[in-house]
Amino acid sequence: MVTANQFDYVIAGGGLQGSLLAFAISRLQPSAQVLLVEKQSQFCGNHTWSFHRSDLSDTTWEWFSELVDRQWDGYHVELGGVTRHIPIGYGSIFSDRLNQKLQTLRDNSDNLTTLSGSVRQLEERSLSLDTGERINGTAVLDCRGLRQGNSSMPRSGFQKFVGLEVELEEDWIADTPCLMDDRVEQTDGFRFIYTLPLTARRLLVEDTRFSNSRALNRDACREVISRYLKERGFANYRVVREETGCLPMPYQRGSLPSQMSVGYRGGFFHPATGYSIPLVANLANQIASSAAADAAMVIAEYRNRMRFQTTFSLWLNRLLFQLVTPTQRLQIFRRFYSKLPAETIQRFYALQFTATDAARIFLGRPPMGLTPLRFLQSFREKPCPAFPT
Ligand SMILES: Cc1cc2nc3c(=O)[nH]c(=O)nc-3n(C[C@H](O)[C@H](O)[C@H](O)COP(=O)(O)OP(=O)(O)OC[C@H]3O[C@@H](n4cnc5c(N)ncnc54)[C@H](O)[C@@H]3O)c2cc1C
């Protein structure tokens, strides 16, 4: 139950998008009244969210940097027996720390109100809770994340992973993240290990696959991680946290989101990488930099600006998940990281690539057997081809 009934911003869902919006508004419009409604007992879930520094505009960075827990000057990839250092800044946010920061903000200001409850319905200027309570807002933003069990879900491949945060007995071998290391058995699609050295002895290590199926055997993933660490001389470690995800990588547009849907539900995620921060942080910045009454217009303009990049990314996913075999999938990533300049890679991750970048990303791919007829056939309604794994 909230005592006030009218807010400038009412935010449904306190995950990544909702939390960043609440934080950005508190920094950029300190007098605006914000209500954040979340159905879980704490905001933000259980994640480590990473991003490229170049994903964020300078004005976004002014407030976003307060939330960043860890930063590196660059990272590396290990693909096809070749190591490449990529000099693009990389960073991470820990969801439990973001949750704490929001609580501090709420406790120390009169402008942020939080409510634990489940939103039943949103309308243009109000929302109602499962309890029947109705709350009004000038801007009512839907940040309720991925719609579960939605039958109209677009056709999609999946980026799925299990990540273990481990405490090692000795210092880890690298002080920069490794975004992809393909020195693991290639089963269930393209598979790689991701490592994030949070401190010298604290490591987030993930077994990740770009697969046509959602199914994920967590025990098998833990086993692969254990072998990977052991082969590098780290047989002994203590698991302090585990996270798991299955992010859709669609190759077809979903139904049009409602005007005030943002975050994942509103299509604000990178279809070809699964990263959301490039979009949700910059969108939060733009909404928070405008009047609440203009939020719908700001969202529509942002969506229009990324139309070309989104369409091309969906097309890339079609190529990855419908038109090439898992072996060729691996070659696509090897080529991406061995041939493309760092500037193209950075614009690609930020979903700000140009038509020239798109041509560069595509030209020279190994589309064996990718005839125009095969491409057209891929649009027909049929399930993903079952490639041997
Ligand atoms: C393990 C994992 C690691 C990831 N790592 C990265 C990464 O490194 N970088 C990156 O950019 N992205 C990453 N992602 C993807 C990113 O987390 C999501 O794309 C992002 O969280 C989407 O933000 P959102 O706010 O739209 O949805 P969510 O973060 O899912 O938030 C939705 C919120 O709405 C709440 N909610 C739902 N229904 C209701 C209701 N009826 N009433 C009230 N509240 C409701 C939910 O409880 C939830 O808290 C990762 C995802 C996972 C699962």
Q: How many CB atoms lie within 10 A of CB 64?
A: 24
Residue 342 exposed, middle or buried by CB count within 10 Å (0-12, 13-18, 19+): middle
Residue 208: φ, ψ to 5° = -120, 140
Ligand 1 centroid from CA 276, angstroms: 9
Atom of ligand 1 nearest to the CA of 13: 34
What percentage of the chain carries pLDDT values higher than 70? 91
Q: What is the per-residue pLDDT for 364?
A: 57
Cβ atoms of 95 and 48 closer than 8 Å: yes
Q: What is the per-residue pLDDT for 154?
A: 72
Q: What is the per-residue pLDDT for 330?
A: 87
Atom of ligand 1 nearest to the CA of 118: 42
Ligand 1 centroid from CA 315, angstroms: 24
Angle subtended by helix axes 16-28 and 277-288, to nearest 10: 30
Q: What is the per-residue pLDDT for 75?
A: 98
- pLDDT tens sequence across 201-257: 999 999 999 999 999 999 999 999 999 999 999 999 999 999 999 999 999 888 878
Does 368 have pLDDT greater than 60? no
Ligand 1 centroid from CA 16, angstroms: 5
- pLDDT tens sequence across 24-58: 999 999 999 999 999 998 889 889 999 999 999 99
Q: What is the per-residue pLDDT for 256?
A: 79
Ligand 1 centroid from CA 340, angstroms: 30
Q: What is the per-residue pLDDT for 145?
A: 94
Ligand 1 centroid from CA 297, angstroms: 24
Q: How many CB atoms lie within 10 A of CB 53?
A: 18
DSSP 307-322: HHHHHHHHHHHHIIII
Residue found by looking up tokens 């993240």 in the block? 177
Q: How many CB atoms lie within 10 A of CB 125?
A: 13
Ligand 1 atom 14 nearest Cα: 275
Ligand 1 centroid from CA 15, angstroms: 5
Whole-model pTM: value is 0.93
Q: What is the per-residue pLDDT for 258?
A: 86
Q: What is the mean pLDDT of residues 142-146?
A: 94
Nearest to 87 by CA among 95, 76, 97, 102: 76
Going along the chain from its start, the domains and CATH numbers come out as 6-72+88-145+258-306 (3.50.50.60), 156-250 (3.30.9.10), 308-377 (no CATH)
Does 381 have pLDDT greater than 70? no
If you average pLDDT over every residue of the chain, what do you get? 91
What percentage of the chain carries pLDDT values higher than 90? 78
CB-ligand 1 contact for 143 (6 Å cutoff): yes
Tokens of 179: 């975004």
CB-ligand 1 contact for 275 (6 Å cutoff): yes
Higher pLDDT, 4 or 349: 349
Atom of ligand 1 nearest to the CA of 18: 25
CB-ligand 1 contact for 50 (6 Å cutoff): yes
Dist. CA 167–CA 202, nearest whole Å: 5
Does 380 have pLDDT greater than 60? no
Atom of ligand 1 nearest to the CA of 246: 53
Residue 87 exposed, middle or buried by CB count within 10 Å (0-12, 13-18, 19+): exposed
Residue 386 pLDDT level (bands cut at 50, 70, 90): very low
